[in-house]
Amino acid sequence: MEFPLVKPSPTIIEELRQAALAVRRQAYAPYSNFLVGAAILAGSGKLFVGCNVENASYGLTICAERNAIAAMIAAGERKIQAIAVACHGAGSPCGACRQVMAEFGEDYGVFLIDADSGEIAAELTLEELLPHRFRWER
Ligand code: THU
């Protein structure tokens, strides 16, 4: 695992881990019962969180990662420095979330948290998760 950008300090990584686990408990997932929490370290150093929000019309579900990104954007921030995602089995972000994550940073750390143990199970980078991603040259 390579960190081309500055890796957050152990203190910040710990804050991300705890924030992702805490917001996961707010997830609205009555259909899948699969709770996901995401915590973003934004450009300013502030943390933003999101959880998955499901819907009776299943396709309207929004993932935790994209909800955290929406909170970051609504606060006026545009840069992701790192993200932590907490769920059972330390699953990694879906393809749609990866592309949205790529909108706000070229490369950064993605910390996958196993919600059962509460521990960081994997440290990846966005580049590892989504190489050759779609870019639109304006
Ligand atoms: N989910 C996320 O929140 N993030 C992902 O990256 C993948 C899946 C949610 C959506 C749905 O509420 C539940 O997990 C099961 O798919």
Over residues 100-130, the pLDDT tens digits come to 999 999 999 999 999 999 999 999 999 999 9
Catalytic option among 65, 119, 123, 127: 65
Substitution candidate for ligand 1 out of 28, 31, 33, 94 with most atoms within 8 A of CB: 94
3-state helix, strand, coil in the chain (%, to 5): 30, 25, 45
In the annotation, is 15 catalytic? Answer: no
pTM for the whole thing?
0.95
Question: What are phi and psi for residue 49, nearest 5 degrees?
Answer: -125, 160
pLDDT-based confidence at residue 1 (cuts at 50, 70, 90): very low
Contact 83/71 with Cβ under 8 angstroms? no
Cβ-based neighbours of 9, under 8 Å, separated by 6 or more: none
Give the whole-angstrom CA distance, residue 123 versus residue 111.
Answer: 5
Q: Is the CB of 36 under 6 A from ligand 1?
A: yes
